[in-house]
Structure 1
Amino acid sequence: MTSTDTAPTLRLAGPDDISTVADIVAEAFDHLKVIHYLVPDPGRRKTITRDWYRLYIAHAINGAGQVVVTADAGAAAVWFDRTRPLSEPEGYEKDLAELAGEYLPRFQHLDLQMEAHHPTDPHWHLLFLAVRPDRWSQGLGSRLMDHTHARLDADGIPAYLEATGLQNRKLYQRHGYQDMSPPTIAVTGDTVLYRMWRPGQSG
């Protein structure tokens, strides 16, 4: 476990960090069932999904939310501000069609399912919490969450996320997230995401 004294500092990502953050997410998520569903071909999976992550990372950095990254580029959190009207990345449909190719229907299906089950109350959405595999179990994910939760709690703002598995679900529960009703989003018959809500704190 990394100690507080040696844990990397955190900073807000800017436009120059988009590629680095996309690399972090691509490495961290490559093993996930939902990502295997999106791109079944392992030889193309990381390239295609990395380009997809870039669309959202750039959108968050450019004003739709916030991206927090460790100074050593070991982990990143991509947040969206849903206390205001939703926007999607500029040119998203065109860019998605170009990068996804034959897998476009799968990406569209995931987008539709996630949006259909998204809560309507104002909140911040943790879309990606990613830690490079060689940095797992060092507390970086918790450090990133604590950073943004402190700011959200100061204003009593709730948070929402979709956990990708039962192990992640347990981590998020330790940080105040609760199962929602319905609790899951069925991407496929055996691939589900877990809907979790963290109520706004006061003080």
Structure 2
Amino acid sequence: MNPDNDTPALRIAGPGDIDTVADIVADAFDHLEVIHFLVPDPSRRRTVARDWYRLYIAHAISGAGQVVMTADASAAAVWFDRTGKITEPDDYTRRLAELAGDDLHRFQDLDLQMEAHHPTEAHWHLLFLAVRPGRWSQGLGSVLMDDTHSRLDGGGIPAYLEATSEQNRRLYRRHGYMDMRPPVITVSADAVLYRMWRPVQNR
């Protein structure tokens, strides 16, 4: 924490942080219905999901976006810059097949749905906002968002995300995000993602 207040110190993640950030996301997302759908077998779920997150985290850190994390490794935000050329992780198709195994079709269906519903306007995409369970409800997600939003607003760049629950949806609304049309991506009977767009805010 910053000695002058309760705001946690933030830093930009580098290549040496990839595994730490993957652990943060895996800890934070283990309960999500969408992850339970992607990997129904609980004995495999964390390993498979973490390897999948890691592909995207490494890609963001390598230059496709940016990962901001708290200095104490309790929370992280994984952003992708979609204002220019859009890329995917290196050798993504093969690597996804290897990590997903028999669940590959579920990951492929999700990828297709997310891309089909993705806005075409230039923006930054908040793919993962993750806080370790022991630090929930302490404002860490808000601090991470505010840090990047201030820079996006200064550059005239909007943002997009897919919220994983009604609770998260309410949080994002407080940070300027609005529901899009159509509002949801239906992943399964039990799992939906809420499409949300944040216009540039005048500060």
Bin of the TM-score, shorter chain as denominator length: over 0.9
CA distance in 2, matches of 1:105, 1:50: 17
Per-residue deviation at 1:3?
Answer: 10
**Are the equivalent residues in 2 in contact too, given 1:38–1:103 (CA < 8 A)?**
yes
1:188 aligned counterpart, secondary structure: coil
| Residue correspondences, number | 202
Q: Is 2:183 the counterpart of 1:183?
A: yes
**Are the equivalent residues in 2 in contact too, given 1:155–1:202 (CA < 8 A)?**
no
Name the TM-score, length of structure 2 as normaliser.
Answer: 0.97
Report the equivalent of 1:130: 130
Report the equivalent of 2:96: 96
Q: Aligned AA for 2:174?
A: R
CA distance in 1, matches of 2:35, 2:191: 10
Judged with a 3 Å threshold, the aligned counterparts in structure 2 of structure 1 residues 4 and 107 are, in CA distance, closer, same or farther, namely farther
CA distance in 2, matches of 1:146, 1:5: 16
Judged with a 3 Å threshold, the aligned counterparts in structure 2 of structure 1 residues 35 and 3 are, in CA distance, closer, same or farther, namely farther
Report the equivalent of 1:200: 200
Judged with a 3 Å threshold, the aligned counterparts in structure 2 of structure 1 residues 145 and 169 are, in CA distance, closer, same or farther, namely same
Report the equivalent of 2:46: 46
Q: Aligned AA for 2:195?
A: R
Report the equivalent of 2:155: 155
CA distance in 2, matches of 1:146, 1:14: 20
CA distance in 2, matches of 1:184, 1:99: 27
Report the equivalent of 2:65: 65
Identity over aligned pairs, percent? 73
Report the equivalent of 2:142: 142
CA distance in 1, matches of 2:182, 2:24: 30
Report the equivalent of 1:173: 173
Judged with a 3 Å threshold, the aligned counterparts in structure 2 of structure 1 residues 109 and 76 are, in CA distance, closer, same or farther, namely same
Per-residue deviation at 1:40?
Answer: 0.5
Judged with a 3 Å threshold, the aligned counterparts in structure 2 of structure 1 residues 63 and 55 are, in CA distance, closer, same or farther, namely same
**Are the equivalent residues in 2 in contact too, given 1:78–1:128 (CA < 8 A)?**
yes
Per-residue deviation at 1:4?
Answer: 7.3
1:115 aligned counterpart, secondary structure: helix
2:187 aligned counterpart, secondary structure: strand
**Are the equivalent residues in 2 in contact too, given 1:156–1:202 (CA < 8 A)?**
no
2:137 aligned counterpart, secondary structure: coil
Q: Please list every run of 5 or more consecutive structure 2 residues that lacks an aligned counterpart in the other structure.
A: none
Per-residue deviation at 1:92?
Answer: 0.5
**Are the equivalent residues in 2 in contact too, given 1:74–1:131 (CA < 8 A)?**
yes
Provide runs of 4+ in structure 1 moved above 6 Å.
Answer: none
